[in-house]
């Protein structure tokens, strides 16, 4: 690494490991402009985002980094790569093991190409060069900017138009190292869908539960070109030694459609940022999400939809189920630009509190500058219906079964939006498994 | 099968059942009639174990057990079924799925293995036909978007699926047109057996044309004031409830 410059003037950022205060003078991958923007963003902070910042009002990040944390080297190809991992010949997949892209386990259809970039600018595919780090706005989020400064390798995924069936690709991150110190990862991924292209991505992590503390600060960028269709589904169930801050930025051009789903089923601490820009007319975005928390778990979902062009549609349904002393946050903002006439935007946030000690903060925001639009939003928080619970009990179901059936029913509205059978099955089973553990029974 | 003795119960400290007694033996069909506010629905709610209802005095034994000591689900597992006056809609919970769970939990309670899938499905098919429940309604969300008649038929369908020892029909006839009434009654009649008993709570004699009871009881002010054979229902239809009230009042005066 070249000479490093001090990023943050103040020593006073409590909780930020000292090695994160420094950054190389320039990036081997990130274009100069995006790099500078990220550096400037970080320099503005004198403390980690938390209660005093509007964006992180309910999510303190000052304990996010354990004191012994080290960034894991994902460049050295020998690191953690297992060559005899079981490979399912039938499914398409992109595999990472402890942050390292594993080409030998990655299998893709002809119209999807990947490039792993880590060493120099020439590895960045031409289609990405122009847009890199421009779909996400590092000026907004501290951690997305931190990722821009610190990531060492990025995966560029190119989706070309294909005849016939839509392809679904699993993006699997295995975390199974036996490191003695806490690990920090900065995964970075870019999906570029060419005009008319079509693909579905399902991402999840297989985290070894008894390993070291793991922290992930990830950024994914999607650019859906004209008339392309992309699904990006993320399933989070990493368990207790894993905390993450994920930033997903999507840009949709004319006639494009992007379908996102974020399922947070078993995460000790998670923050998900999702921003979608509908940049060309007739573009469509679906944003769905479900979080289920128990114990002292914390889940923060943040969405931003920008209607920049006319005749665009956005539809979001977020649901939360909270037990124990867990906390949840949904903050959804819809911004309709002046020229975005005929916008059709919908947002719904519904939460169920299963215990008296669980809490949820739900904040829908609608800002409309066009005058001919159809926008609506709603937010509700309540408890399971006692009448419904009694009805089921009166038919012979235990209180636990009745509650778990009602929670599944509540969650099903989100699960049913998953257009991929495989992920829907996995997610549905996880929801049941979580409830069968008794976590949801007060 | 069911012995209710001097039951005093109510809600929020208010006594609604004021010394209710009734005995039902296996295979018998009892009808309880009475004017509004006489405590008929409170009786159904207390027996089903609905939260909020309190028992102040008296006892209820069901199948040799103290019913009041059992949770709502254990009452169901012991063989009690209540067809509710206002069945709730439960979006997202399919009828079939919840009935399968219910049957298996009831079987588990009796140390039986889960029901065989094939057997379950053929039972669904058979019972669905019995109450003329449209194909498809059974697999839809519980009561969601059902008409009043469909909801009541669904109650009888569930009853048929769960095969209870004692079924309580709480004003199942309210809001039903003649055709739906006939279908519901027909379903109930097919379920009659020497082991299974029914308690039919109703305002009107009409239902009893279809479900012919062995005994008719008249409930006024929280207790049974008159019992008789099925002809009593006809008499009530003819004369209304006032003569019973008067008869009851004068009998109290006499005893005083």
Chain A interface residues facing chain B, Cβ-Cβ under 8 Å?
Answer: 385-388, 390-399, 401-402, 405-406, 408-410, 412-413
**Integer Cα distance of A239 and A221 in angstroms:** 25
For A349-379, how does the pLDDT look when each residue is reduced to its tens digit (9 = 90+)?
A: 999 999 999 999 999 999 999 999 999 999 9
Which residue of chain B is at minimal alpha-carbon distance from A390? B50
CB of B75 within 8 Å of a chain A CB? The answer is yes
For A104-156, how does the pLDDT look when each residue is reduced to its tens digit (9 = 90+)?
A: 999 999 899 999 988 777 778 877 766 665 545 545 688 998 998 888 889 99
* C-alpha distances out from residue A13 to A6, A10, A46, A216, Å: 13, 7, 6, 19
Between the two ends of chain A, the Cα-to-Cα distance in Å is 52
Which among B48, B90, B91 has CB closest to A394? B48
Q: Between B174 and B88, whose confidence is greater? A: B88
Lowest mean pLDDT segment, chosen from A32-41, A130-139, A385-394: A130-139
- What is the pLDDT at residue A264? 94
**Integer Cα distance of A408 and B92 in angstroms:** 8
For A315-340, how does the pLDDT look when each residue is reduced to its tens digit (9 = 90+)?
A: 999 999 999 999 999 999 999 999 99
Which residue of chain A is at minimal alpha-carbon distance from B106? A396
- What is the pLDDT at residue A209? 86
- What is the pLDDT at residue B178? 85
Pick from A258, A257, A239: which is nearest to A248 by CA?
A258
**Integer Cα distance of A213 and A230 in angstroms:** 33
Residues near A222 by beta carbon (within 8 Å), at least 6 away in sequence: A135, A190, A191, A192, A193, A230, A232, A248, A249, A250, A251, A258
Count of beta carbons in the 10 Å neighbourhood of residue A144: 26
Cβ pair A114, A158 in contact under 8 A: yes
**Integer Cα distance of A273 and A247 in angstroms:** 5
Cβ pair A278, A226 in contact under 8 A: no
**Integer Cα distance of A167 and B22 in angstroms:** 67
**Integer Cα distance of B220 and B222 in angstroms:** 6
Q: What is the CA radius of gyration of chain B?
A: 18
Pick from A240, A350, A242: which is nearest to A289 by CA?
A350
Q: Between B112 and A6, whose confidence is greater? A: B112
- What is the pLDDT at residue B15? 93
Percent of the residues in chain A that have a pLDDT greater than 90, as a whole number: 58
Residues near B219 by beta carbon (within 8 Å), at least 6 away in sequence: B20, B32, B33, B34, B38, B39, B40, B43, B225
Percent of the residues in chain A that have a pLDDT greater than 70, as a whole number: 88
**Integer Cα distance of A135 and A114 in angstroms:** 19
Q: What is the DSSP letter of B196?
A: B
Pick from A43, A52, A39, A47: which is nearest to A15 by CA?
A47
Lowest mean pLDDT segment, chosen from A38-42, B64-68, B91-95: A38-42
Mean pLDDT of A274-300: 95
Share the mean pLDDT of chain B: 89
Q: List B residues 166-185 in contact with A (Cβ-Cβ < 8 A).
A: none
Which of B71, B73, B81, B103 to probe the A interface (max A CBs under 10 A)? B73
Cβ pair B201, B40 in contact under 8 A: yes
Q: Give B107's contacts in chain A (Cβ within 8 Å).
A: none
Flag whether pLDDT at B256 surpasses 90. Answer: no
**Integer Cα distance of A350 and A56 in angstroms:** 21
Pick from A186, A262, A191: which is nearest to A223 by CA?
A191
β-strand partners of A231: A200, A259
Pick from A184, A183, A157: which is nearest to A170 by CA?
A157
CA atoms within 13 A on the CB side of B224: 20
Cβ pair B248, B35 in contact under 8 A: no
Mean pLDDT of B15-26: 94
Secondary structure (DSSP) of A91-149: SEEEEEETTEE-GGG-B--TTEEEEEE-S-GGGS-HHHHTTTTTSS-TTT-HHHHHHHH
- What is the pLDDT at residue B79? 95
Say what the ipTM of the complex is: 0.94
Q: How far is B142 from chain A (nearest CA, A)?
A: 10
Which residue of chain A is at minimal alpha-carbon distance from B164? A395
Mean pLDDT of B26-30: 94
Q: Do A409 and B99 touch (CB under 8 A)?
A: no
**How big is the A-B interface in CB pairs under 8 Å?**
78
**Integer Cα distance of B123 and B121 in angstroms:** 5
CB of B228 within 8 Å of a chain A CB? The answer is no
Q: Do B84 and A398 touch (CB under 8 A)?
A: no
Pairing of strands A359-368, B2-11: unpaired
For B201-239, how does the pLDDT look when each residue is reduced to its tens digit (9 = 90+)?
A: 988 888 888 899 999 999 999 999 889 898 888 888 788
Pick from A272, A207, A271: which is nearest to A238 by CA?
A207
**Integer Cα distance of B176 and B172 in angstroms:** 8
β-strand partners of A112: A159
Cβ pair B98, B142 in contact under 8 A: yes
* C-alpha distances out from residue A56 to A11, A49, A141, A301, B197, Å: 21, 6, 10, 11, 62
Which of B45, B101, B108 to probe the A interface (max A CBs under 10 A)? B101
Flag whether pLDDT at A39 surpasses 90. Answer: no
CB of B49 within 8 Å of a chain A CB? The answer is yes
Q: Do B101 and A405 touch (CB under 8 A)?
A: yes
Query: Residue for token digits 């994160």?
Result: A20
Flag whether pLDDT at B247 surpasses 50. Answer: yes
Q: Give A436's contacts in chain B (Cβ within 8 Å).
A: none
Share the mean pLDDT of chain A: 87
B124: confidence class by pLDDT, cuts 50, 70, 90: very high
Which residue of chain A is at minimal alpha-carbon distance from B168? A394
CB of B51 within 8 Å of a chain A CB? The answer is yes
Flag whether pLDDT at A81 surpasses 50. Answer: no
Q: Do A394 and B71 touch (CB under 8 A)?
A: no
- What is the pLDDT at residue A12? 53
State the virtual CA torsion across B57, B58, B64, B68 in degrees, nearest 10.
-30
CB of B88 within 8 Å of a chain A CB? The answer is yes
**Integer Cα distance of A206 and A402 in angstroms:** 30
Q: Give A395's contacts in chain B (Cβ within 8 Å).
A: 76, 81, 98-99, 102, 158, 162
**Integer Cα distance of B141 and A410 in angstroms:** 12
Coil/strand/helix, residue B251: helix
**Integer Cα distance of B217 and B230 in angstroms:** 9
Sheet of strand B65-66, all strands in order from the earlier edge strand to the far edge = B14-24, B2-11, B53-62, B65-66
State the virtual CA torsion across B87, B92, B97, B98 in degrees, nearest 10.
-40
Which residue of chain B is at minimal alpha-carbon distance from A385? B90
Q: Do B92 and A395 touch (CB under 8 A)?
A: no
Mean pLDDT of A62-83: 73
> Mutual orientation of helices B95-109 and B117-130 as an angle, nearest 10°?
120
Q: What is the DSSP letter of B168?
A: E
Count of beta carbons in the 10 Å neighbourhood of residue A199: 24
The secondary element (H helix, E strand) that includes residue A405 is helix A399-415
For A202-241, how does the pLDDT look when each residue is reduced to its tens digit (9 = 90+)?
A: 999 999 888 899 999 999 999 999 999 999 999 999 988 9
Q: Between B116 and A421, whose confidence is greater? A: B116
Q: List B residues 103-162 in contact with A (Cβ-Cβ < 8 A).
A: 103, 105-106, 109, 141-142, 158, 162
Write out the two tokens for A66. Answer: 């354990």
Mean pLDDT of B121-142: 85
**Integer Cα distance of B171 and B202 in angstroms:** 5
Flag whether pLDDT at A76 surpasses 70. Answer: no
């Amino acid at each position: 690494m070249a000479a490093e410059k001090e990023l943050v003037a103040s020593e006073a950022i409590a909780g930020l490991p000292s090695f994160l205060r420094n950054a190389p003078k320039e990036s081997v991958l990130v274009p100069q402009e995006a790099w500078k923007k990220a550096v400037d963003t970080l320099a503005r902070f004198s403390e980690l985002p938390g209660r005093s910042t509007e964006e992180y009002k309910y999510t303190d990040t000052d304990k996010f980094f354990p004191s012994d944390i080290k960034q894991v080297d994902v460049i050295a190809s020998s690191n953690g790569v297992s060559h005899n991992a079981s490979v399912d010949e039938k499914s398409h997949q992109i595999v990472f093991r402890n942050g390292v892209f594993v080409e030998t386990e990655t299998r893709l259809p002809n119209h999807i190409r990947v490039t792993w970039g880590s060493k120099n600018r020439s590895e960045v595919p031409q289609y990405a060069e122009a847009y890199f780090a421009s779909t996400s706005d590092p000026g907004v989020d501290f951690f997305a900017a931190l990722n821009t400064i610190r990531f060492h390798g990025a995966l560029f995924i190119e989706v070309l138009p294909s005849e016939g069936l839509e392809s679904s690709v699993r993006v699997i991150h295995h975390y199974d190292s036996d490191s003695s110190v806490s690990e920090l990862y900065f995964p970075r991924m870019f999906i570029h869908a060419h005009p008319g292209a079509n693909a579905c991505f399902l991402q999840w992590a297989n985290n070894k539960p008894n390993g070291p503390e793991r922290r992930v600060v990830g950024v994914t960028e999607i650019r859906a070109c004209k008339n392309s269709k992309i699904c990006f589904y993320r399933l989070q169930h990493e368990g207790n030694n894993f905390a993450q801050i994920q930033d997903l930025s999507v840009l949709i051009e004319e006639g494009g459609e992007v379908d996102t789903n974020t399922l947070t089923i078993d995460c000790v601490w998670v923050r998900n940022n999702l921003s979608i820009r509908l940049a060309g007319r007739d573009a469509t975005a679906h944003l769905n999400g479900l979080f289920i928390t128990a114990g002292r778990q914390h889940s923060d979902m943040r969405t931003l939809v920008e209607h920049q062009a006319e005749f665009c549609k956005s539809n979001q349904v977020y649901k939360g189920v909270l037990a124990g002393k867990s906390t949840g946050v949904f903050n959804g903002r819809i911004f309709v630009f002046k020229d975005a006439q005929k916008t059709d935007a919908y947002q719904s946030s519904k939460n169920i509190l299963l215990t008296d000690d669980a809490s949820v903060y739900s904040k829908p925001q609608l800002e409309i500058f066009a005058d001919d639009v159809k926008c609506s939003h709603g937010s509700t928080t309540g408890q399971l219906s006692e009448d419904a619970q009694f009805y089921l009990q009166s038919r012979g179901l235990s209180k636990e079964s009745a509650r778990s059936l009602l929670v599944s029913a509540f969650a099903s509205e989100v699960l049913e939006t998953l257009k991929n059978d495989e992920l829907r099955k996995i997610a549905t089973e996880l929801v049941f498994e979580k409830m069968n553990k008794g976590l949801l029974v007060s | 099968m069911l012995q209710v003795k001097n039951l005093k119960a109510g809600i929020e400290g208010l006594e609604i059942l004021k010394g209710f007694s009734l005995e039902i033996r296996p295979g018998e069909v009892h009808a309880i009639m009475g004017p509004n506010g006489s405590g008929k629905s409170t009786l159904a709610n207390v027996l089903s174990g609905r939260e909020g209802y309190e028992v102040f005095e008296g006892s209820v034994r069901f199948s040799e057990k103290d019913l009041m000591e059992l949770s709502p689900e254990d009452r169901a597992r012991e063989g009690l079924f209540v067809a509710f006056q206002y069945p709730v809609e439960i979006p997202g919970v399919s009828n079939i799925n919840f009935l399968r769970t219910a049957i298996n939990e009831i079987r588990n309670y009796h140390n039986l293995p889960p029901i065989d899938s094939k057997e379950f499905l053929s039972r669904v098919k058979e019972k669905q036909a019995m109450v003329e429940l449209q194909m498809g309604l059974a697999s839809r969300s519980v009561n969601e978007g059902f008409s009043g008649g469909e909801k009541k038929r669904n109650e009888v369908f569930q009853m048929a699926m769960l095969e209870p020892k004692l079924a309580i029909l709480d004003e199942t006839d309210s809001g039903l047109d003649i055709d739906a009434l006939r279908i519901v009654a027909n379903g109930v009649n097919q379920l009659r057996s020497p082991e299974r008993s029914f308690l039919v709570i109703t305002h009107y004699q009409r239902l009893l044309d279809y479900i012919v009871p062995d005994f008719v009881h008249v409930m006024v002010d929280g207790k049974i004031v008159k019992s008789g054979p099925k002809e009593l229902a006809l008499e009530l239809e003819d004369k209304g409830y006032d003569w019973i009230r008067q008869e009851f009042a004068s009998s109290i005066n006499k005893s005083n």
